[in-house]
């Protein structure tokens, strides 16, 4: 068809137009082999057209992951969905540049059909939304800061007025980073220490973690026995919080404990990022505003896989970090999780 003919002509009006777009554009055939790669796609990803033409994303080119860190190129990616339904697809994904850095993009896929209705190609248009994500995170941080200076009722009322009377505490899907922390061998510690010593340890630990979490714009969602679950709008803040706890909080706590003749403790920390459901959970008489979902469960599993006094994160969290923090992590191992088709890649703080 004429579209494909023009696409193969580097001097055609179609090619000139696509190469002058701000957004990245690439075209694939029904087998997802790349037929065209515009200049913006080259600038955003670092891959030249010569390097990708004839290849597929799954050939270690972009390796898109979704918001929960799931690799899309070997499963139902937006292009696959669009081709299957001969329609369109939209998603927020994190491709990987040639230099290995992931960044958020908003992608739109449309199919191109011939006269018989058969799909002959799919065109994907993607836009780097790093700045929009930074603005969203900044807005969430601003809201968190304002909450410290006004009552919850006042803040909720202001939000309701701005949003045109939206009901309070309506369940929402949010993109958050979830941090889990617990004490290594807490059961053994409890068995050989007095109950009041156990409670004192937890109160000291939780107090330190609460202060550091707040300083890093996070919020402790709940205390679970000897464990803490905290949530952050920004994965960078979650990592900074974990670093402060490990590098400052725990050493200081252990210094005081040793001065008082108590044994030092070790902790494990794991962080995962993705979509969570936030809402009121409980009964009519008592409710808890909390977050639930696969992202939360995976964060808990990552924490259990971590090492004493070390921080371990998922690739979904790594994809959300700035360059300085990304370089502070190295791949450690993969872990198989029940209910997931792909293993989770875990990275450890160096």
Contact 102, 72 (CB under 8 A): no
Q: Are residues 231 and 338 in the same domain?
A: yes
pTM of the model: 0.78
Query: Who contacts 35 (Cβ-Cβ below 8 Å, separation ≥6)?
Result: 4, 7, 8, 27, 28, 29, 53, 121
Query: Do residues 181 and 327 both lie within one domain?
Result: yes
The residue among 96, 128, 160 that closes a domain is: 128
Domain end call among 128, 143, 160: 128
Q: Are residues 76 and 89 in the same domain?
A: yes
User: Looking at the structure, do residues 93 and 39 belong to the same domain, yes or no?
Assistant: yes
Question: Is residue 152 located within the same domain as residue 248?
Answer: no
119-168, pLDDT tens digit by residue? 999 999 999 999 998 888 888 888 877 776 654 555 665 676 666 655 55
Residues 209 and 340 reside in one and the same domain: yes
For 26-57, the pLDDT digits (tens) are 999 999 999 999 999 999 999 999 999 999 88
Q: Are residues 283 and 140 in the same domain?
A: no
Write down which residue in 142, 168, 194 finishes a domain. Answer: 168
Query: What tens digit of pLDDT does each residue of 216-275 get?
Result: 989 888 899 999 999 999 999 999 999 999 999 999 999 999 999 999 999 999 999 999
Is 147 found in the same domain as 110? no
Sign (positive or negative) of CA dihedral 303, 292, 247, 235:
positive
Residues 227 and 289 in one domain: yes
* pLDDT greater than 70 at residue 316: yes
Q: Give the structural domain span for 320.
A: 169-349
Q: Specify whether 192 is located in the same domain as 104.
A: no
Q: Give me the number of domains the chain comprises.
A: 3
Please give the radius of gyration of the chain, using alpha carbons only, rounded to the nearest integer. Answer: 24
Rounded Cα–Cα distance for residues 133 and 131 (Å): 5
Q: Are residues 36 and 145 in the same domain?
A: no
CATH of the domain at 72: 3.30.450.20
Q: Are residues 9 and 124 in the same domain?
A: yes
Q: Domain with 248 in it: what CATH number?
A: 3.30.70.1230
pLDDT confidence of residue 67: 82
Region 305-326: mean pLDDT is: 96
Which residue, 173, 31, 169, 20, is CA-closest to 92?
A: 173
């Amino acid at each position: 068809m004429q579209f494909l003919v023009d696409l193969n002509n580097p001097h055609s009006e179609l090619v000139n137009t696509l190469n002058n777009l701000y957004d990245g554009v690439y075209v694939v055939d029904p087998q997802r082999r790349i037929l065209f790669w515009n200049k913006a796609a080259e600038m955003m990803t670092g891959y030249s057209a010569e390097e990708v033409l004839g290849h597929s994303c799954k050939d270690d080119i972009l390796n898109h992951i979704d918001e929960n860190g799931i690799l899309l190129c070997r499963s139902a990616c937006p292009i696959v969905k669009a081709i299957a339904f001969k329609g369109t697809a939209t998603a927020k994904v994190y491709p990987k540049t040639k230099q290995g850095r992931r960044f958020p993009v908003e992608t739109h896929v449309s199919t191109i059909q011939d006269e018989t209705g058969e799909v002959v190609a799919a065109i994907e248009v993607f836009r780097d939304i790093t700045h929009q994500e930074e603005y969203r995170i900044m807005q969430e941080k601003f809201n968190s800061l304002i909450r410290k200076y006004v009552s919850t009722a006042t803040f909720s009322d202001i939000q309701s007025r701005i949003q045109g009377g939206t009901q309070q505490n309506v369940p929402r899907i949010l993109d958050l980073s979830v941090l889990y922390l617990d004490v290594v061998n807490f059961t053994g510690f409890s068995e050989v220490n007095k109950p009041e010593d156990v409670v004192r340890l937890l109160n000291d630990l939780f107090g330190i973690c609460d202060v550091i979490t707040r300083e890093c714009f996070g919020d402790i969602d709940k205390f679970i026995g000897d464990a803490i679950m905290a949530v952050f709008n920004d994965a960078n803040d979650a990592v900074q919080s974990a670093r402060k706890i490990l590098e400052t909080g725990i050493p200081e706590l252990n210094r005081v404990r040793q001065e008082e003749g108590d044994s030092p403790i070790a902790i494990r920390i794991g962080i995962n990022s993705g979509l969570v459901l936030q809402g009121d959970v409980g009964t009519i008489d008592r409710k808890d505003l909390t977050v639930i979902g696969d992202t939360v469960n995976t964060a808990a599993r990552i924490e259990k896989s971590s090492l004493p006094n070390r921080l371990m994160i998922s690739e979904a969290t790594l994809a959300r970090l700035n360059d300085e923090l990304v370089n502070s992590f190295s791949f450690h191992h993969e872990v198989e999780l029940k209910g997931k088709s792909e293993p989770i890649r875990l990275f450890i703080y160096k």
